Every structure is written in structure tokens, then in C-alpha cells.
Amino acid sequence: MKQKIIVTGGCGYIGSHTVIELITHQFEVVILDDLSNSNIKTLDRIEKITGVRPIFEEIDLKDTEKTKAAFSKHADAVAVIHFAAYKAVAESVQNPVMYYKNNFFSLLNTLEAQLQEGIHNFIFSSSATVYGNPKTLPITEENEVQRPFSPYGNTKKIAEEILEDIVKANTGFSSISLRYFNPIGAHTSGDLGELPNGIPNNLMPYITQTAAGIRKELQVFGDDYDTKDGTAIRDYIHVVDLADAHVKAVKRLIHKEQEQALEIFNLGTGNGYTVLEVIQSFEKITEKPLNYRIVGRRAGDVPALYASTKMAKEKLGWETTLGIDDMISTSWKWEENLKNE
Ligand code: NAD
Ligand code: UDP
């Protein structure tokens, strides 16, 4: 019998890649998603890649009763991976209520429903944004957590505090919070990738859309940081490597290998790249010149973020296998395939 995993937000960018890895590792997957930032066609894409169509329930997790009903239907699940959230930083600054409401109602309804059904394993999508502007690099899990700049970031910080309380109050309940650095890239098949709604906020989709002629020029936010070329440094991680870490985390919970009821892991490669280095790699790999212009810094951006990968390596047994060139080539392949949609 396959073990069943409930994946909230499983039609989204990171969720869909994780569903593929779960299916590949012989798990049965149930996706709960309201499609607010994703497309039903993602199920076809997952089926094309894996040969398996995951069970899908279209449901808004803000709805307490519907969430409970979905969990009662799938009470035989052994773990929940919770991706469902809104994630646009600038939008969260403009509309904090919408962000706090969606991200917390979804989280709390999911936790309440799974506790009610006795599903005791929970994986949470957190973010490196909880480190704010770190005092030391690379960032270890011991680095101080700071009040994030945006309401979006704050939903991640507070969610981790909520999880601390929930594991204390519920014996046997175990959770892993995964702090992602900068996920980019797409499935190597070119059949699945990020589908940003409207104008992208993030660097990689903005680069590929500019190269594809959808956007006129890329704005590089600031070249006066204290870095080798003045542009900000981030730790970009391939979404397929990231997805694989979730499978490792699920197995750690199911096999009761965790050392604490709530564990936290950074998920990055440990390598930092500046914005200009990413642009140069993109131009080299695709042989396409990119139209870009240096502009002022973006509010809330920090100069440099990159992860210490030691803890994830030692405890999850997880290491990244794909580098910046793979991230760029798969992102570009996906962008080109989107033209034929
Ligand atoms: P995404 O928007 O592609 O996926 C999120 C999915 O959740 C979407 O399919 C959306 O329809 C669904 N969803 C949102 N609200 C819902 C609700 N109320 N009920 C049911 N479904 C709902 O985002 P992603 O990039 O795949 O991110 C997944 C998770 O990882 C999010 O929690 C995000 O905050 C976190 N994260 C993402 C990044 C990143 O750069 N992409 C970085 C750090 C953390
Ligand atoms: N960035 C940029 N132009 C863009 C989008 C992003 O110069 O159009 C920069 C941004 O300032 C940051 C890096 O690229 O230094 C990564 O930004 P992204 O929004 O992808 O992720 P973040 O690290 O902010 O979560």
C-alpha cells in the first residue's frame, strides 16, 4: 500500500515539482488547492511527466468546514506538506490583511483539520526572509530571526512560532519547517515550471520574459551594495533539488527520525551569485543578450543572503545536485515552451 501525502498548494510552482518527486518515490498524493495562483492544467503536466494523475480537491483552505471535510475524506494520510499561501512581497505590503488572512487561515485550518484526523506530520514552507539582514554569512539555522520587512515575510516568522506552540501542546505531533533561499529553474522535461501571474516580481521569470520579448527591459535593483560588482547576492536553488528535500523531510517524519518535535532546515546551495552574475550566466547559456538597466535599490532588499547547508546535509541527508547553469537552462526551456501554449 502506498503511503498517502496531502499536499496543499500542490498545483503551484514548488508544490507541483514536489508532487512529481513524491510520486516518483511511490507515494500517493492528494492535492488541495483553490487554483488562486495556479492552473488546473498542472495536473495534466504532472500526469505527462510521471504517468500518474494525483487526486485533486479544489478547495479554499480559508474555509474551515471544507478543509475539515477534505481531511476527513483523506484521514488515512501520513503527512501534510503545506505550500498553500500568497507569496508576492510587494502585494503583501499594499494589502496586509489579505496576506495575513489567507496565509494564517489556511495554515490554522489545515493544522486543526489534520490534528482532528490524527495526522501527526507537518512540513511547512518557510523562507530565508525570516533572517532579515543577517549579521553573519553563510546563514546557519542558529542565526537570529528578525522581524521580516514585509507582511508576507512576517507570515512565515509567525507561522514558525505557531508551530512551536502546536508541537508543545500536542504530544506526537512533529513538524519540519524548511527555509527556502531563492528557488528558480524548472523541470528538466520543459513541461513544468513557474507560471507567474502578471508582471513577475522575481528575478528569474523577469529575465526569461525579457529575453522572450514579453518585457522590454530588466531593471537591476541597485549596484551600490558592498559586493564584488555592487549588485545583491542571493543563493539560487533549483526547484527540483528543493522538491527532493521535501521527500527527504517527509521520510524523516514518517520514520520518526527527528531529534526535536519541530526542526528547521535551510534549503539553499551555499553559493551566492550577484544579479549581474546571473545575467551574465543567462547570456552565456542562451547566447541571447539581455536588455537590462541599473536602477535604484528596491525597498526591503538586503545585500547578501546565502545558506549554510551543513544541517540539511547532516540530518536530512540532502545535497543539491543542480547548479546555476541547470537553473538557467531549464528556466529558459520552460519559457520557450510556454510560447506554444
Ligand atoms: P505558488 O503561488 O506557485 O503556489 C502556492 C499554491 O497555493 C498555488 O497553487 C495557490 O493556488 C495555492 N493557494 C494559495 N492560497 C490558497 C488557499 N487559500 N487555499 C488553497 N490553495 C491556496 O507559490 P510557490 O512559489 O510554489 O510557493 C509555495 C510555498 O513556498 C508558499 O508558501 C511560499 O510562500 C513559499 N516560498 C516560496 C518561495 C519562492 O520564491 N517561490 C520562497 C520561499 C518560500
Ligand atoms: N532583482 C532585480 N530585478 C528584478 C527582480 C529582482 O534586480 O526585476 C534582484 C533583487 O533586488 C534581488 C535579487 O534580484 O537582489 C533576487 O530577487 P527576487 O525578487 O527574485 O528574490 P528575493 O531575494 O527578493 O526573495
Q: Which residues pair with 121 in a beta bridge?
A: 174
For residues 15 and 31, the answer to whether their CB atoms sit within 8 Å is: yes
For residues 211 and 335, the answer to whether their CB atoms sit within 8 Å is: yes
Tell the residue nearest (CA) to atom 6 of ligand 2.
203
In whole angstroms, give the CA distance from residue 127 to residue 161: 14
Tell the residue nearest (CA) to atom 24 of ligand 2.
301
Atom of ligand 1 nearest to the CA of 38: 9
Q: Which ligand is nearest to the CA of 203?
A: 2
pLDDT in tens, 13-32: 999 999 999 999 999 999 99
For residues 16 and 29, the answer to whether their CB atoms sit within 8 Å is: no
pLDDT in tens, 265-314: 999 999 999 999 999 999 999 999 999 999 999 999 999 999 999 999 99
Q: Which ligand is nearest to the CA of 194?
A: 1
Catalytic residue positions, numbered: 152
Give helix then strand counts, H and E, for the chain.
11, 13
In whole angstroms, give the CA distance from residue 108 to residue 157: 15
55-59, 297-301, 336-340 — most confident range: 55-59
Ligand 2 centre distance from Cα of residue 330 (Å): 19
Helix (H, G, I), strand (E, B) or coil at 29: strand
Give percent of the chain with pLDDT exceeding 90: 96
Mutate which of 152, 214, 221, 274 for ligand 2? The one with the most ligand atoms within 8 Å of its CB, which is 221
Per-residue exposure over 323-338, b if at least 16 CB sit within 10 Å of its own CB, e if not:
ebebbbbbbbbbbeeb
Ligand 1 centre distance from Cα of residue 224 (Å): 32
Tell the residue nearest (CA) to atom 2 of ligand 2.
220
Tell the residue nearest (CA) to atom 19 of ligand 2.
202
Helix (H), strand (E) at residue 8: strand 4-8
Atom of ligand 1 nearest to the CA of 155: 34
Q: CB of 156 closer than 6 A to ligand 2?
A: no
What is the predicted pLDDT for the residue at 82? 99
Helix (H, G, I), strand (E, B) or coil at 93: helix
Q: Which of 85, 82, 1 is CA-nearest to residue 250?
A: 82
What is the predicted pLDDT for the residue at 339? 82
Q: Which ligand is nearest to the CA of 59?
A: 1
Helix (H), strand (E) at residue 319: none
What is the predicted pLDDT for the residue at 340? 76
Q: Which residues pair with 182 in a beta bridge?
A: 236
Ligand 2 centre distance from Cα of residue 232 (Å): 8
Ligand 2 centre distance from Cα of residue 202 (Å): 5
pLDDT in tens, 99-149: 999 999 999 999 999 999 999 999 999 999 999 999 999 999 999 999 999
What is the predicted pLDDT for the residue at 310? 98
pLDDT at 5 over 80: yes
What is the average pLDDT score of the chain? Answer: 97
Helix (H, G, I), strand (E, B) or coil at 327: helix
Q: CB of 131 closer than 6 A to ligand 2?
A: no
Cell for 123?
A: 512540513
Q: Which of 337, 323, 141 is CA-nearest to residue 237?
A: 323
For residues 296 and 221, the answer to whether their CB atoms sit within 8 Å is: yes
Ligand 2 centre distance from Cα of residue 2 (Å): 40
Rounded to the nearest 5°, which phi and psi values hold at 184?
Answer: -140, -175
Give me the residue label for grid cell 545535497.
319
Q: CB of 328 closer than 6 A to ligand 2?
A: no
What is the predicted pLDDT for the residue at 285? 97
Helix (H), strand (E) at residue 174: strand 174-180
> Which residues, including other chains, have CB under 8 Å from residue 278's CB and lie 6 or more apart?
203, 204, 207, 236, 324, 328
Atom of ligand 1 nearest to the CA of 180: 43
In whole angstroms, give the CA distance from residue 203 to residue 209: 10
Domain ranges of the chain: 4-185+236-268
Q: CB of 221 closer than 6 A to ligand 2?
A: yes
What is the predicted pLDDT for the residue at 197? 78
Tell the residue nearest (CA) to atom 41 of ligand 1.
183
Residues 219-233 have a mean pLDDT of: 98
Q: What class, spelled out in words, does domain 4-185+236-268 have in CATH? A: alpha beta
pLDDT at 198 over 90: no
Could you tell me the pLDDT band of residue 195, with boundaries at 50, 70 and 90?
confident
> Which residues, including other chains, have CB under 8 Å from residue 171's CB and lie 6 or more apart?
none
Cell for 164?
A: 512551536
